[in-house]
Structure 1
Amino acid sequence: MIRLIFTLTLFAFILQSVVLGSNGTSTIELASSQSTQSTQPTQPTQSSNDLSSYKTVNYYARFNCGAISDDSGPLRPGKYDSDITIFNKKSYPITVIWKAIAIDQQVKNNFNILNIPSENIASINCSKILPIQDKNNTNSSSTFPKKFTEGIIKLEISVDNGLLVNNFLNNQNANIIVNESEIGNLINVDVLHTVNTLDDLNKEVVYLKADFSILSKDKNKISNFTVVFHIDPDGIVDPLSLIKNKISANNTDQKIDINGSEIIIKDTEIITNTLTDNHALTVQSVDPIIS
């Protein structure tokens, strides 16, 4: 009897274990299935913070501004000016931000906003790069800088997901979409560099022209010559001494006996002229750098 009860009890225990084991396995498999479904990645929507969708177009234009009054540097004396022209090639307005970066860092400007209407031109010259207020001018307009400065103008256009970011800086609320292929073809940037002569560089030059003859020691031979000297307009000139010094400098083969010959000055003439240096200019086209 006891063995029968033990056998029935053992059978019930084994049957319960089988049932519980089967339910436990199903639960684990369900959890595994749910976990697999929850870990599958979902396709994210493109965000404006995605770096791959944000493009910046930079233009770097050189500028030379101010006056050079001596010959101590690589550039000749003169008044230098640079004019950077930006042409909006599109049928909608474009806003460009720009900043002047001087080599000597005497000018530390923040970025400036420049709005260019459709199919129009804007310019940045030295009076905008280095604005100097004239104290004697009642209307406080900018004057040309006297100290020479050179550097780079950085122009920037930003595009985010095809939208012109800069346009919102200038209260242009229109959503203008541009294709990635035309990002570097929105504007043209050209630079005109000019140099003009300083007012005090217009100098008067004076020359002395002398016709003279050299008579040989035996008085049998005479030779006629002409010489031109650059002279100081405020100095005292001795034509005979100038002629003798010139002959001594050029008479290396001793063909002329200065001491044994007689120099006869026949005629002298003063020639004056004013040296005026004109202006020079160069034109440079600036290519965009997209990053």
Structure 2
Amino acid sequence: MKRWSKISSVFAILTIILVLYFVSSSGIYHSRDVAFAQNSSLTIISLSSDNKLISGGQFVISPNPFTGTGNYTIKDNSPDDTAKDKNGVIILSGITNGNYSIIQTNITPGYSVDQIQKLVQVNNSSGVVTFTDLPANNATISSSPTRSVTYTTKFECGSIFAGEGPLRPGHYDTDISLFNKQRFQIQALWNSVPTNGPSSNAILLKMDSETSKSITCQDIRATLGNNNENFIEGFTIINVPLDSTFGSGITMTSPSSNNINILDVQAFYTANALDILPHEVIIDKISFYIIQDGSGKIPANMMQKTLDISIPSGLNQISDTEKKVKDVLAKQYTLSDDDLSKIVIRIKDVSVGVGVLIDDHAISLSTVKPELDS
């Protein structure tokens, strides 16, 4: 009996081992795969205006959905497209979770590229975006629903110290203010386009109902990787998509719609156009007498009376007060060194104050009008 019990136990153990082997081999159970599987995917669909699938689409995704950095280009039915049997549908599997901007760069001949950037969020699920491509000879774009609203603003940031810039020497600053006056969250995409330079990557901007945000020179420099104080200028482009995953759900069918202006956008500019930037300076106010003038060049009515002069002074610097006064007299009355040696002055008093150079400060405010993209 005991022997039979041992044989039964061994048989049961062998049976369990065999079952686990076949289950793991068949892919029904694999603890390592379950722990590290990446189920996120991204689907890109190309449609005609009558909702038919169009093949040949090519797209640039930012950032790269597999690495999280740089850009990634995918074409319909290319090796990474797991939906090769379906023209007009691209599926990327096993991608990294995140927010992505997608633009279409090519489509099958006979159709025009959809030029509206799409935004999609992927978070342990499947993100889907759709591009609508009109016939190349279609001239009725204005009658199609509006798919985004764009605000384009000028920016000027940094300092110009001499004649190296397009503007007068001074300091220039830009603050672009945005107000979401809608009763729902708005999500927009903005990027910087510097003069004579490449455009920056797009930045996702989320705004809750009745809230405001700003884009400053510091933000613009960050998008361009420019962290110095050199002068830069260009444009910012703020795009509010209406028909993508990040869209607000609004559909506008004509430019006269009352809801065309999704956001209130205003650009605030400040400029100081001085040859020298304004700053505080120390001022010495010197009271003195002219006791004797052997040069005969100083007017007689200035002799033996209290005179005042204000001169910029350096901090913690030792200076000759009498020489400062004589230098001013020499400039005003065209005195030579020999003339100055014949003039005797006495310093009565010196007082120190702080002055500020005149600030030629300009401020302007511009309301940015929206543009419709169909």
Structure 1-normalised TM-score? Answer: 0.55
In structure 1, stretches of 5+ residues that fail to align are: 1-44, 134-141, 159-163
The equivalent position to 1:111 in structure 2, one of 192, 198, 202, is 202
SS in 1 for 2:260: helix
- Alignment equivalent of 1:95, drawn from 171, 177, 187: 187
* Alignment pair present for 1:209 and 2:268: no
**Could you tell me which amino acid in structure 2 is paired with residue 110 of structure 1?**
N
Instruction: Output the amino acid matched with 1:185.
Output: N
Distance verdict in 2 for CA 1:249–1:215, change over 3 Å:
same
- Post-superposition shift, 1:275? 4.1
Match of 2:156 among 64, 87, 90: 64
Q: CA 1:231–1:186 in structure 2 vs 1: closer, same or farther (change >3 Å)?
A: closer
CA contact (8 A) 2:159 2:231 kept: yes
Please say if 1:246 is aligned against 2:328: yes
Deviation at 1:285, TM superposition (A): 1.4
**Structure 1 position 287 matched with structure 2 position 369:** yes
Q: 1:223 to 1:87 in 2, by over 3 A?
A: same
Pick one of 117, 122, 133 that aligns with 2:213.
122
Deviations 1:67-114 (A, max 9, x none): 437344435555x54332222233333333322101242x63133333
Query: Relative to total residues, which structure has the larger helix share, 1 or 2?
Result: 1
CA contact (8 A) 1:82 1:192 kept: yes
1:271 aligned residue:
352
- 1:41-52 to structure 2, matched below 5 A, reads 49=134, 51-52=141-142
Q: 1:176 to 1:289 in 2, by over 3 A?
A: closer
Q: Which residue of 2 aligns with 1:150?
A: 233
- For 2:354, the aligned partner's letter is N
Q: Paired residue for 1:131? A: 222
The CA deviation at 1:237 is 1.6
Question: Does the 8 Å CA contact 1:104/1:149 hold for their aligned counterparts?
Answer: no
- Write out per-residue CA displacement over residues 101-134 of structure 1, whole angstroms, 9 at most, x where no aligned residue: 01242x631333334333333332334322289x
Q: Distance in 2 between matches of 1:208 and 1:214?
A: 19
2:276 paired with 1:186: no
Match of 1:38 in 2: none
**When the two structures are superposed, what TM-score results if normalisation uses the length of structure 2?**
0.45
> Which residue of structure 2 lines up, in the alignment, with residue 85 of structure 1?
177
Q: Is the 8 A contact 1:97 1:113 kept in 2?
A: yes
Give SS of 1:177's match. coil
1:120–1:244 distance in 2 versus 1, CA, 3 Å: closer
Which residue of structure 2 aligns with residue 227 of structure 1?
A: 308
Structure 2 residue identity aligned to 1:156: N
Q: Which has the higher contact order (CA 8 A, sep 6+)?
A: 1
Query: 5+ unaligned residues in a row in structure 2: which ranges?
Result: 1-48, 52-131, 135-139, 295-299
Map of 1:176 onto structure 2: 250
Is the alpha carbon distance of 1:251 and 1:127 closer, same or farther for their aligned partners in structure 2, counting shifts above 3 Å?
Answer: closer
* Offset, 1:176: 2.9
Following TM superposition, by how much is the alpha carbon of 1:144 offset from its aligned partner in structure 2, in angstroms? 6.3
**Does the Cα contact within 8 Å between 1:207 and 1:271 map onto a contact in 2?**
yes
Does the CA-based 8 Å contact 1:86-1:188 persist in structure 2?
Answer: yes
Aligned to 1:35: none
2:143–2:253: 8 Å Cα contact kept in structure 1?
no
Within 2, Cα distance between the matches of 1:176 and 1:237? 75
Paired residue type of 1:210 = S
1:53 and 2:143 equivalent?
A: yes
Is residue 2:308 matched to residue 1:236?
no
**Corresponding letter in the other structure for 2:287:** A
Give 1:64 deviation, angstroms: 2.9
Cα distance in 2 for partners of 1:148, 1:115 equals 29
* Pairwise CA distance, 1:211: 1.6
Q: Is the 8 A contact 2:160 2:231 kept in 1?
A: no
- State the percentage of identical aligned residues: 19
Looking at structure 2, the residues matched to 92 and 85 of structure 1 have their Cα atoms a distance apart, in angstroms, of 18
Q: Distance in 2 between matches of 1:68 and 1:216?
A: 48
Q: Deviations over 1:135-193 (max 9, x none)?
A: xxxxxxx99654432211012345xxxxx22xx142x5x74333522253222111233
| CA radius of gyration, larger in | 1
